[in-house]
C-alpha cells in the first residue's frame, strides 16, 4: 500500500514555512529549507528548493501540497508547483493572478456574514450552541466593536472561554482595556502570529515591500483617521485640487494647469510618482 502524506506550506513575509506529515510525525520548518526537508524525509538529499520540487514530481507516493498565503506579487509560484499525476496542489491567495494555476476552477471566498460571525464567536467562547436571544445580542455587540475582524473575534472568544470575562461583559472590558485583549495570546489554537497586534504588524511588513506597497501604507495612515464605511472618492479629488491650488497660489513656479505638487507637499505626504515627473523639484 502506498504511503500518503500532506504538506502544508505557509508563505509569509517573503519566506516559506512548512509543515509535513509523512505518517511518522509532523515537522515544522522555515524558509526554503522546508522543501529541502520534505525531500530529506522522502530519503533524497538535495541542495536547493528547485531540486526538492522535482523530488515531489518524481515520488510515487500520493501527496497534497498546500501553498497558503501565496500573496507576494514578486514570487513566481509556478516554480513551486510539482507536476505529476500522484499529487494535488491547493493554493490560497489574495492575488487573482494565481487563478491561472487552477485546473478545476478557483473558488472565491468572501467575508463572513453576521450570522456566521455570531456562530463563530459563540463556539469560540464556549457558549455554542446557545442560541438564546440574549447571547445573540451580546455576540452582535462584540462583533460590532471588533468591526467584524475574524481573527479578533476568534481571539475574543478564546479570551471569554479562558474565564477572563463573560460574553455580556466583553464590550465594556474591551473599551476599558483594548490593548490587553488585542495582545492576548490563547494557550490553544494559537494563530500564526500569536495576537492581533502581531498580525497587523506582519501585514504591514508585507505591504511595505516595494514602492507601491509603501504608497499603500502611507494611504492607510490617512484612511485610519476615517470611518471604515466606504470612503467617497470625492474626498481625494478635493484634496488633490486643493493641493494644486495651494501650490499655484504660493509658488507660481509651474505653468497654469499643471497638476504637480510642491516638494514640501510630497515630503509631508509621500505620494506615488504620478503626482509629478521623475526628478521634479520645487
Percent of the chain at pLDDT above 70? 63
CA distance 96 to 188: 33
Q: Is 130 exposed, middle or buried (0-12, 13-18, 19+ CB in 10 A)?
A: middle
How high is the pLDDT of residue 188? 58
pLDDT tens for each residue of 202-261: 666 666 666 677 777 777 777 777 776 777 888 878 877 877 777 666 555 545 445 555
181 and 155 in contact (C-beta within 8 Å)?
Answer: yes
Highest mean pLDDT among 141-155, 176-190, 258-272: 141-155
Q: Write the CB contacts of 51 (distance below 8 Å, at least 6 apart in sequence).
A: 39
Dihedral sign (CA 97, 102, 104, 108):
negative
Work out the average pLDDT over 138-158.
Answer: 88
Residue 192 sits at φ, ψ, to 5 deg, of -55, -40
48 and 59 in contact (C-beta within 8 Å)?
Answer: no
Dihedral sign (CA 269, 272, 273, 275):
negative
How high is the pLDDT of residue 169? 92
49: its cell numbers: 528548493
78 and 70 in contact (C-beta within 8 Å)?
Answer: no
How high is the pLDDT of residue 12? 43
Cis status of the peptide bond prior to 24, with omega within 30 of 0:
no
Which pTM value belongs to this model?
Answer: 0.55
Q: Is 206 exposed, middle or buried (0-12, 13-18, 19+ CB in 10 A)?
A: middle
pLDDT tens for each residue of 3-20: 445 555 544 433 334 443
DSSP assignment of 25-39, as one string? Answer: -EEEEETTHHHHHHH
pLDDT surpassing 90 at residue 141: yes
Q: Is 194 exposed, middle or buried (0-12, 13-18, 19+ CB in 10 A)?
A: middle
Amino acid at each position: 500500500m502506498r504511503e500518503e502524506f500532506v504538506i502544508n506550506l505557509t508563505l509569509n513575509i517573503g519566506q516559506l514555512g512548512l509543515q509535513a506529515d509523512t505518517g511518522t510525525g509532523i515537522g515544522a520548518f522555515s524558509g526554503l529549507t522546508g522543501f529541502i526537508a520534505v525531500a530529506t524525509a522522502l530519503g533524497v538529499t538535495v541542495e536547493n528548493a528547485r531540486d526538492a520540487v522535482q523530488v515531489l514530481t518524481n515520488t510515487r507516493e500520493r501527496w497534497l501540497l498546500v501553498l497558503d498565503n501565496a500573496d507576494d506579487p514578486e514570487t513566481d509560484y509556478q516554480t513551486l508547483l510539482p507536476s505529476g499525476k500522484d499529487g494535488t496542489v491547493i493554493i490560497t491567495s489574495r492575488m487573482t493572478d494565481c487563478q491561472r494555476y487552477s485546473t478545476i476552477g478557483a473558488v472565491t471566498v468572501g467575508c463572513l456574514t453576521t450570522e456566521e460571525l455570531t456562530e463563530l464567536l459563540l463556539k469560540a467562547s464556549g457558549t455554542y450552541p446557545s442560541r438564546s436571544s440574549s447571547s445573540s445580542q451580546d455576540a452582535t455587540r462584540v462583533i460590532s466593536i471588533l468591526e467584524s475582524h475574524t481573527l479578533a473575534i476568534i481571539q475574543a472568544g478564546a479570551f471569554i472561554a479562558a474565564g477572563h470575562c463573560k460574553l455580556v461583559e466583553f464590550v465594556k472590558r474591551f473599551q476599558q482595556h483594548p490593548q490587553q485583549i488585542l495582545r492576548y495570546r490563547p494557550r490553544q489554537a494559537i494563530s500564526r502570529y500569536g495576537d492581533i497586534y502581531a498580525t497587523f504588524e506582519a501585514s504591514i511588513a508585507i505591504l511595505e515591500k516595494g514602492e507601491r506597497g509603501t504608497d499603500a501604507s502611507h494611504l492607510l495612515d490617512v484612511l485610519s483617521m476615517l470611518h471604515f464605511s466606504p470612503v467617497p472618492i470625492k474626498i481625494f479629488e478635493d484634496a488633490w485640487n486643493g493641493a494644486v491650488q495651494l501650490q499655484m497660489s504660493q509658488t507660481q513656479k509651474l505653468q497654469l494647469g499643471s497638476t504637480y505638487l510642491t516638494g514640501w507637499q510630497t515630503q509631508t505626504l509621500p505620494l506615488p510618482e504620478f503626482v509629478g515627473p521623475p526628478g521634479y523639484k520645487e
